[in-house]
Structure 1
Amino acid sequence: MADQSAVPDYELADELELTDPAQYRALFDDTRLKIVHLLLERAATTSELAAALGKPKGTVGHHLKVLEYAGLVRIVRTKQVRAIEAKYYGRTARVFLYHDWDRTQFEGIGLDPGGLLEHFVTEATNLPEHLRELPSGTSARYARIPVERAAEWRERVYELLDEFAREPRGGEVTFGLLVGLFPTTRGHLPESGDDE
Protein backbone atom coordinates (compact mmCIF):
# COMPACT_ATOMS: atom_id res chain seq x y z
CA MET A 1 0.00 0.00 0.00
CA ALA A 2 1.32 3.46 -0.89
CA ASP A 3 2.39 5.83 1.85
CA GLN A 4 -0.60 8.18 2.13
CA SER A 5 1.61 10.95 3.52
CA ALA A 6 3.59 11.01 0.25
CA VAL A 7 1.32 13.01 -2.01
CA PRO A 8 1.55 12.31 -4.86
CA ASP A 9 3.11 8.82 -5.08
CA TYR A 10 5.79 9.69 -7.65
CA GLU A 11 8.75 12.05 -7.95
CA LEU A 12 8.14 15.48 -9.44
CA ALA A 13 9.72 18.91 -9.44
CA ASP A 14 8.47 21.46 -6.94
CA GLU A 15 7.60 24.02 -9.60
CA LEU A 16 7.57 24.70 -13.31
CA GLU A 17 7.29 28.20 -14.73
CA LEU A 18 5.07 28.35 -17.78
CA THR A 19 6.99 30.18 -20.51
CA ASP A 20 5.38 28.93 -23.70
CA PRO A 21 1.90 29.96 -24.89
CA ALA A 22 1.29 26.28 -25.72
CA GLN A 23 1.60 25.52 -22.01
CA TYR A 24 -1.05 28.13 -21.17
CA ARG A 25 -3.30 26.76 -23.90
CA ALA A 26 -2.80 23.20 -22.64
CA LEU A 27 -3.37 23.94 -18.97
CA PHE A 28 -6.25 26.41 -19.02
CA ASP A 29 -8.96 24.09 -20.24
CA ASP A 30 -11.55 22.90 -17.73
CA THR A 31 -10.98 19.17 -18.29
CA ARG A 32 -7.19 19.48 -18.34
CA LEU A 33 -7.21 21.55 -15.13
CA LYS A 34 -9.22 18.78 -13.48
CA ILE A 35 -6.76 16.17 -14.74
CA VAL A 36 -3.69 17.94 -13.33
CA HIS A 37 -5.50 18.48 -10.02
CA LEU A 38 -6.37 14.78 -9.79
CA LEU A 39 -2.75 13.86 -10.51
CA LEU A 40 -1.68 15.66 -7.34
CA GLU A 41 -3.25 12.78 -5.42
CA ARG A 42 -1.38 10.01 -7.23
CA ALA A 43 -0.36 8.77 -10.64
CA ALA A 44 -3.32 7.51 -12.65
CA THR A 45 -4.16 5.69 -15.87
CA THR A 46 -6.36 7.08 -18.61
CA SER A 47 -9.13 4.72 -17.47
CA GLU A 48 -8.93 5.89 -13.85
CA LEU A 49 -9.00 9.54 -14.88
CA ALA A 50 -11.93 8.91 -17.24
CA ALA A 51 -13.91 7.27 -14.42
CA ALA A 52 -13.13 10.12 -12.00
CA LEU A 53 -14.14 12.76 -14.55
CA GLY A 54 -17.12 10.90 -15.99
CA LYS A 55 -15.72 11.28 -19.51
CA PRO A 56 -14.87 8.78 -22.26
CA LYS A 57 -11.35 7.29 -22.22
CA GLY A 58 -10.71 8.64 -25.73
CA THR A 59 -11.48 12.19 -24.62
CA VAL A 60 -9.26 11.91 -21.54
CA GLY A 61 -6.51 10.31 -23.64
CA HIS A 62 -6.61 13.30 -26.02
CA HIS A 63 -6.32 15.75 -23.11
CA LEU A 64 -3.42 13.77 -21.62
CA LYS A 65 -1.56 13.94 -24.95
CA VAL A 66 -2.04 17.73 -25.07
CA LEU A 67 -0.73 18.04 -21.50
CA GLU A 68 2.16 15.67 -22.22
CA TYR A 69 3.16 17.55 -25.38
CA ALA A 70 3.20 20.80 -23.36
CA GLY A 71 5.48 19.22 -20.74
CA LEU A 72 2.90 19.37 -17.95
CA VAL A 73 2.36 15.63 -17.45
CA ARG A 74 4.46 12.57 -18.18
CA ILE A 75 4.31 8.81 -17.86
CA VAL A 76 5.75 8.07 -14.42
CA ARG A 77 5.48 4.27 -14.52
CA THR A 78 3.99 1.39 -16.42
CA LYS A 79 2.44 -1.88 -15.29
CA GLN A 80 1.63 -5.02 -17.25
CA VAL A 81 -2.10 -5.77 -16.90
CA ARG A 82 -2.87 -8.98 -18.76
CA ALA A 83 -1.69 -8.35 -22.34
CA ILE A 84 -1.77 -4.56 -22.05
CA GLU A 85 0.80 -2.19 -20.64
CA ALA A 86 -0.98 0.33 -18.37
CA LYS A 87 0.58 3.78 -18.42
CA TYR A 88 0.40 5.86 -15.25
CA TYR A 89 0.52 9.61 -15.75
CA GLY A 90 1.80 12.18 -13.29
CA ARG A 91 2.47 15.90 -13.28
CA THR A 92 5.90 17.24 -14.12
CA ALA A 93 5.72 19.71 -11.20
CA ARG A 94 3.75 20.15 -8.00
CA VAL A 95 3.08 23.82 -8.85
CA PHE A 96 2.74 25.44 -12.27
CA LEU A 97 3.79 29.07 -12.03
CA TYR A 98 2.18 31.60 -14.32
CA HIS A 99 1.72 35.31 -14.17
CA ASP A 100 -1.93 36.25 -14.48
CA TRP A 101 -0.79 39.82 -15.01
CA ASP A 102 0.97 38.73 -18.22
CA ARG A 103 -2.09 39.34 -20.37
CA THR A 104 -0.20 38.72 -23.62
CA GLN A 105 0.18 35.02 -22.82
CA PHE A 106 -3.55 34.71 -22.22
CA GLU A 107 -4.84 37.04 -24.91
CA GLY A 108 -2.57 35.49 -27.54
CA ILE A 109 -4.42 32.20 -27.13
CA GLY A 110 -7.90 33.55 -26.51
CA LEU A 111 -7.97 33.07 -22.73
CA ASP A 112 -9.16 35.38 -20.00
CA PRO A 113 -7.16 34.97 -16.76
CA GLY A 114 -10.10 36.44 -14.84
CA GLY A 115 -12.20 33.55 -16.10
CA LEU A 116 -10.09 31.12 -14.09
CA LEU A 117 -10.72 33.03 -10.88
CA GLU A 118 -14.42 33.31 -11.73
CA HIS A 119 -14.49 29.53 -12.22
CA PHE A 120 -13.06 28.93 -8.73
CA VAL A 121 -15.34 31.50 -7.09
CA THR A 122 -18.40 29.97 -8.79
CA GLU A 123 -17.37 26.51 -7.63
CA ALA A 124 -16.92 27.77 -4.06
CA THR A 125 -20.21 29.66 -3.88
CA ASN A 126 -22.58 27.37 -5.80
CA LEU A 127 -22.35 24.25 -3.68
CA PRO A 128 -24.89 21.47 -4.14
CA GLU A 129 -27.29 21.08 -1.22
CA HIS A 130 -25.54 17.95 0.16
CA LEU A 131 -22.24 19.86 0.56
CA ARG A 132 -23.56 23.03 2.21
CA GLU A 133 -23.31 21.66 5.75
CA LEU A 134 -19.62 20.75 5.42
CA PRO A 135 -16.88 23.07 6.71
CA SER A 136 -16.40 26.03 4.40
CA GLY A 137 -16.11 29.78 4.57
CA THR A 138 -14.93 32.87 2.81
CA SER A 139 -13.65 36.16 4.08
CA ALA A 140 -11.79 39.23 2.88
CA ARG A 141 -9.57 41.69 4.71
CA TYR A 142 -7.76 44.81 3.55
CA ALA A 143 -4.59 46.33 4.98
CA ARG A 144 -2.41 49.21 3.84
CA ILE A 145 1.07 47.69 4.09
CA PRO A 146 4.47 48.22 2.42
CA VAL A 147 5.21 46.29 -0.79
CA GLU A 148 7.95 44.31 0.97
CA ARG A 149 5.47 43.04 3.58
CA ALA A 150 3.00 42.16 0.81
CA ALA A 151 5.72 40.03 -0.80
CA GLU A 152 6.25 38.27 2.55
CA TRP A 153 2.51 37.63 2.89
CA ARG A 154 2.38 36.25 -0.64
CA GLU A 155 5.09 33.72 0.26
CA ARG A 156 3.22 32.72 3.41
CA VAL A 157 0.05 32.20 1.36
CA TYR A 158 1.97 30.00 -1.09
CA GLU A 159 3.37 27.99 1.83
CA LEU A 160 -0.15 27.47 3.18
CA LEU A 161 -1.39 26.33 -0.24
CA ASP A 162 1.53 23.92 -0.52
CA GLU A 163 0.84 22.52 2.97
CA PHE A 164 -2.83 22.04 2.03
CA ALA A 165 -1.91 20.26 -1.21
CA ARG A 166 0.43 17.89 0.68
CA GLU A 167 -2.23 16.91 3.23
CA PRO A 168 -2.62 13.10 3.39
CA ARG A 169 -5.60 11.96 1.33
CA GLY A 170 -8.70 10.60 3.01
CA GLY A 171 -12.43 11.12 3.38
CA GLU A 172 -15.06 11.24 0.67
CA VAL A 173 -15.07 14.94 -0.29
CA THR A 174 -12.43 16.93 -2.14
CA PHE A 175 -12.05 20.38 -0.58
CA GLY A 176 -10.63 23.43 -2.30
CA LEU A 177 -8.57 26.23 -0.81
CA LEU A 178 -8.73 29.55 -2.64
CA VAL A 179 -6.59 32.44 -1.42
CA GLY A 180 -5.35 35.61 -2.98
CA LEU A 181 -3.29 38.70 -2.34
CA PHE A 182 -3.73 41.65 -4.64
CA PRO A 183 -3.25 45.42 -4.74
CA THR A 184 -6.43 47.49 -4.81
CA THR A 185 -7.52 50.99 -5.75
CA ARG A 186 -9.17 51.47 -2.33
CA GLY A 187 -8.35 54.75 -0.66
CA HIS A 188 -7.00 55.16 2.84
CA LEU A 189 -7.13 57.73 5.61
CA PRO A 190 -4.32 60.24 5.92
CA GLU A 191 -1.94 59.88 8.83
CA SER A 192 -3.45 61.23 12.04
CA GLY A 193 -3.25 65.02 12.21
CA ASP A 194 -2.34 65.54 8.53
CA ASP A 195 -5.48 67.49 7.75
CA GLU A 196 -5.63 69.69 10.87
Structure 2
Amino acid sequence: MPSNPPPPDYELADRLALTTADQVRAISNPLRTTLLGLLHERAATVTELAATLGRPKSTVAHHVTVLTRAGLLRVVRTRRVRAIEERFYGRTARLFYLPAGADGGQDGLPPDFNDFDVAAQESATAFRERRLWGFIRHARLSEEQAGEFWERMAALVGEFDALPRSGDTVYGFAVGIYPTDQPHLPDVAD
Protein backbone atom coordinates (compact mmCIF):
# COMPACT_ATOMS: atom_id res chain seq x y z
CA MET A 1 0.00 0.00 0.00
CA PRO A 2 1.60 3.33 -1.02
CA SER A 3 1.91 5.90 1.73
CA ASN A 4 1.16 9.56 1.22
CA PRO A 5 3.54 12.30 2.35
CA PRO A 6 2.76 13.82 5.76
CA PRO A 7 -0.12 16.26 5.38
CA PRO A 8 -0.68 18.84 4.24
CA ASP A 9 1.09 19.59 0.95
CA TYR A 10 1.80 23.26 1.72
CA GLU A 11 3.64 25.32 4.34
CA LEU A 12 1.72 26.51 7.38
CA ALA A 13 2.32 27.63 10.94
CA ASP A 14 2.20 25.07 13.75
CA ARG A 15 -0.30 27.01 15.89
CA LEU A 16 -2.58 30.01 15.74
CA ALA A 17 -4.32 31.49 18.76
CA LEU A 18 -7.91 32.47 18.07
CA THR A 19 -7.85 36.00 19.44
CA THR A 20 -10.91 37.57 17.84
CA ALA A 21 -14.59 36.82 18.04
CA ASP A 22 -14.70 36.59 14.21
CA GLN A 23 -12.11 33.78 14.27
CA VAL A 24 -14.00 31.79 16.89
CA ARG A 25 -17.34 32.32 15.17
CA ALA A 26 -15.77 31.20 11.88
CA ILE A 27 -14.42 27.98 13.35
CA SER A 28 -17.62 27.28 15.32
CA ASN A 29 -19.65 26.34 12.24
CA PRO A 30 -19.75 22.56 11.59
CA LEU A 31 -19.34 22.91 7.80
CA ARG A 32 -16.35 25.22 8.24
CA THR A 33 -14.82 22.80 10.76
CA THR A 34 -15.23 20.03 8.17
CA LEU A 35 -13.56 22.20 5.53
CA LEU A 36 -10.62 22.86 7.86
CA GLY A 37 -10.37 19.12 8.50
CA LEU A 38 -10.29 18.30 4.80
CA LEU A 39 -7.55 20.87 4.25
CA HIS A 40 -5.35 19.06 6.77
CA GLU A 41 -4.75 16.49 4.06
CA ARG A 42 -3.90 18.82 1.19
CA ALA A 43 -4.78 22.11 -0.42
CA ALA A 44 -8.01 22.05 -2.41
CA THR A 45 -10.16 24.18 -4.66
CA VAL A 46 -13.71 25.22 -3.84
CA THR A 47 -14.85 22.87 -6.61
CA GLU A 48 -13.05 19.89 -5.02
CA LEU A 49 -14.37 20.74 -1.57
CA ALA A 50 -17.94 21.10 -2.83
CA ALA A 51 -17.77 17.78 -4.69
CA THR A 52 -16.31 15.99 -1.66
CA LEU A 53 -19.03 17.33 0.63
CA GLY A 54 -21.88 17.03 -1.86
CA ARG A 55 -22.74 20.68 -1.23
CA PRO A 56 -23.36 23.51 -3.71
CA LYS A 57 -20.22 25.27 -4.86
CA SER A 58 -21.73 28.65 -3.86
CA THR A 59 -22.30 27.45 -0.28
CA VAL A 60 -18.75 26.13 0.04
CA ALA A 61 -17.34 29.31 -1.54
CA HIS A 62 -19.19 31.40 1.06
CA HIS A 63 -17.74 29.38 3.95
CA VAL A 64 -14.24 29.45 2.43
CA THR A 65 -14.54 33.24 2.23
CA VAL A 66 -15.56 33.47 5.90
CA LEU A 67 -12.56 31.34 6.92
CA THR A 68 -10.22 33.35 4.69
CA ARG A 69 -11.41 36.70 6.08
CA ALA A 70 -10.91 35.35 9.61
CA GLY A 71 -7.30 34.46 8.75
CA LEU A 72 -7.83 30.69 9.07
CA LEU A 73 -7.46 29.89 5.35
CA ARG A 74 -5.34 31.37 2.58
CA VAL A 75 -4.64 30.75 -1.09
CA VAL A 76 -1.55 28.52 -1.15
CA ARG A 77 -1.23 28.18 -4.94
CA THR A 78 -3.06 28.76 -8.20
CA ARG A 79 -3.24 27.12 -11.59
CA ARG A 80 -4.64 28.21 -14.91
CA VAL A 81 -7.54 26.10 -16.21
CA ARG A 82 -8.51 27.38 -19.63
CA ALA A 83 -9.18 31.10 -19.09
CA ILE A 84 -9.78 30.83 -15.32
CA GLU A 85 -7.26 30.97 -12.51
CA GLU A 86 -8.15 28.24 -10.02
CA ARG A 87 -7.26 28.88 -6.37
CA PHE A 88 -6.12 26.18 -3.95
CA TYR A 89 -6.90 26.97 -0.32
CA GLY A 90 -4.98 25.80 2.71
CA ARG A 91 -5.08 26.35 6.45
CA THR A 92 -2.94 29.04 8.04
CA ALA A 93 -1.99 26.74 10.96
CA ARG A 94 -2.05 23.07 11.90
CA LEU A 95 -3.65 23.84 15.26
CA PHE A 96 -6.11 26.58 16.15
CA TYR A 97 -6.65 27.16 19.87
CA LEU A 98 -8.27 29.50 22.36
CA PRO A 99 -5.61 31.14 24.52
CA ALA A 100 -5.88 30.85 28.30
CA GLY A 101 -8.50 33.16 29.74
CA ALA A 102 -10.60 33.32 26.56
CA ASP A 103 -14.19 32.36 27.26
CA GLY A 104 -17.72 33.02 26.12
CA GLY A 105 -18.21 35.68 28.77
CA GLN A 106 -15.40 37.89 27.48
CA ASP A 107 -14.51 39.54 24.21
CA GLY A 108 -17.74 38.42 22.52
CA LEU A 109 -16.62 34.80 22.05
CA PRO A 110 -19.57 32.44 21.51
CA PRO A 111 -20.49 30.54 24.69
CA ASP A 112 -21.24 27.35 22.72
CA PHE A 113 -17.75 26.91 21.25
CA ASN A 114 -16.82 23.47 22.57
CA ASP A 115 -14.75 20.86 20.73
CA PHE A 116 -15.86 18.22 23.22
CA ASP A 117 -19.50 18.75 22.30
CA VAL A 118 -18.53 18.12 18.66
CA ALA A 119 -16.51 15.05 19.67
CA ALA A 120 -19.41 13.69 21.73
CA GLN A 121 -21.79 14.05 18.79
CA GLU A 122 -19.33 12.54 16.32
CA SER A 123 -18.45 9.61 18.58
CA ALA A 124 -22.01 8.47 19.41
CA THR A 125 -22.15 5.94 16.57
CA ALA A 126 -18.65 4.63 17.35
CA PHE A 127 -19.72 4.17 20.98
CA ARG A 128 -22.81 2.18 19.98
CA GLU A 129 -20.66 0.04 17.65
CA ARG A 130 -18.04 -0.47 20.39
CA ARG A 131 -15.37 1.27 18.30
CA LEU A 132 -14.69 4.17 20.68
CA TRP A 133 -11.46 4.20 22.66
CA GLY A 134 -11.15 6.80 25.37
CA PHE A 135 -10.07 7.69 28.86
CA ILE A 136 -10.95 10.36 31.36
CA ARG A 137 -8.78 11.02 34.38
CA HIS A 138 -8.67 13.69 37.06
CA ALA A 139 -5.54 14.98 38.80
CA ARG A 140 -4.83 17.90 41.07
CA LEU A 141 -2.25 20.10 39.28
CA SER A 142 -0.75 23.55 39.51
CA GLU A 143 -1.43 26.04 36.69
CA GLU A 144 2.17 25.55 35.56
CA GLN A 145 1.80 21.76 35.42
CA ALA A 146 -1.47 22.08 33.48
CA GLY A 147 0.24 24.41 30.98
CA GLU A 148 3.16 22.04 30.53
CA PHE A 149 0.76 19.14 30.00
CA TRP A 150 -1.17 21.16 27.42
CA GLU A 151 2.08 21.65 25.49
CA ARG A 152 2.62 17.89 25.46
CA MET A 153 -0.96 17.34 24.26
CA ALA A 154 -0.45 19.90 21.48
CA ALA A 155 2.63 17.93 20.39
CA LEU A 156 0.54 14.74 20.31
CA VAL A 157 -2.10 16.50 18.19
CA GLY A 158 0.72 17.57 15.86
CA GLU A 159 1.86 13.96 15.61
CA PHE A 160 -1.70 12.84 14.82
CA ASP A 161 -2.04 15.58 12.17
CA ALA A 162 1.24 14.52 10.52
CA LEU A 163 0.26 10.87 10.07
CA PRO A 164 0.23 9.80 6.42
CA ARG A 165 -3.33 9.55 5.13
CA SER A 166 -4.44 6.04 4.22
CA GLY A 167 -7.41 3.73 4.65
CA ASP A 168 -11.09 4.47 4.17
CA THR A 169 -12.09 5.57 7.68
CA VAL A 170 -11.60 9.06 9.12
CA TYR A 171 -10.87 8.86 12.85
CA GLY A 172 -11.50 11.66 15.32
CA PHE A 173 -9.00 12.49 18.04
CA ALA A 174 -10.11 14.60 21.01
CA VAL A 175 -7.81 15.68 23.79
CA GLY A 176 -8.11 18.37 26.40
CA ILE A 177 -7.37 19.55 29.88
CA TYR A 178 -9.82 21.60 31.91
CA PRO A 179 -10.49 22.57 35.53
CA THR A 180 -13.31 20.70 37.30
CA ASP A 181 -15.07 20.79 40.65
CA GLN A 182 -14.14 17.16 41.38
CA PRO A 183 -13.50 16.56 45.08
CA HIS A 184 -9.98 15.72 46.25
CA LEU A 185 -8.44 14.32 49.38
CA PRO A 186 -6.66 16.75 51.68
CA ASP A 187 -2.86 16.78 51.64
CA VAL A 188 -1.23 14.34 54.02
CA ALA A 189 0.09 16.12 57.12
CA ASP A 190 3.84 15.82 57.61
1:93-152 residue CA offsets vs partner (Å, 9 max, x unmatched)? 1111214752247772654124x42121111123397xx365x31221122233333222
Q: Separation in 1 of the partners of 2:106 and 2:118? A: 16
Partner of residue 120, structure 1: 119
The verdict on how the C-alpha distance between 1:184 and 1:51 changes in structure 2, with shifts beyond 3 A counting, is: same
Partner of residue 21, structure 1: 21
TM-score normalised by the chain length of structure 2: 0.86
Given that residues 46 and 60 in structure 1 are in contact (C-alpha distance below 8 angstroms), is that contact kept between their aligned partners in structure 2?
yes
Residue 167 (structure 2) pairs with residue 171 (structure 1) = yes
The aligned amino acid for 1:155 is E
Partner of residue 95, structure 2: 95
Runs of 4 or more above 4 Å deviation:
104-107
Give % identity.
43
Q: Separation in 2 of the partners of 1:30 and 1:105? A: 22
Gaps of 5+ in 1: none
State the secondary structure of the residue aligned to 1:171. Answer: coil
The verdict on how the C-alpha distance between 1:27 and 1:145 changes in structure 2, with shifts beyond 3 A counting, is: closer
Deviation at 1:85, TM superposition (A): 2.1
Deviation at 1:192, TM superposition (A): 4.3
The aligned amino acid for 2:29 is D
The aligned amino acid for 2:57 is K
The verdict on how the C-alpha distance between 1:188 and 1:105 changes in structure 2, with shifts beyond 3 A counting, is: closer
Q: Which moved more, 1:179-188 or 1:29-38?
A: 179-188
Residue 158 (structure 2) pairs with residue 158 (structure 1) = no
Q: Separation in 2 of the partners of 1:80 and 1:146? A: 55
Q: Separation in 2 of the partners of 1:46 and 1:60? A: 6
Partner of residue 77, structure 1: 77
TM-score normalised by the chain length of structure 1: 0.84
Given that residues 100 and 113 in structure 1 are in contact (C-alpha distance below 8 angstroms), is that contact kept between their aligned partners in structure 2?
no
Gaps of 5+ in 2: none
Q: Separation in 2 of the partners of 1:193 and 1:90? A: 55
State the secondary structure of the residue aligned to 1:112. Answer: coil
Given that residues 46 and 57 in structure 2 are in contact (C-alpha distance below 8 angstroms), is that contact kept between their aligned partners in structure 1?
yes
- Write out aligned runs for 1:126-141 (5 A): 126-127=125-126, 132=129, 134=131, 136-141=132-137
1:33-72 residue CA offsets vs partner (Å, 9 max, x unmatched)? 1111111110001111112222111100011111111111
State the secondary structure of the residue aligned to 2:126. Answer: coil
Given that residues 21 and 107 in structure 2 are in contact (C-alpha distance below 8 angstroms), is that contact kept between their aligned partners in structure 1?
no
Q: Separation in 2 of the partners of 1:126 and 1:55? A: 23
Which structure has the bigger radius of gyration? 1
Given that residues 106 and 112 in structure 1 are in contact (C-alpha distance below 8 angstroms), is that contact kept between their aligned partners in structure 2?
no
Given that residues 24 and 113 in structure 2 are in contact (C-alpha distance below 8 angstroms), is that contact kept between their aligned partners in structure 1?
no
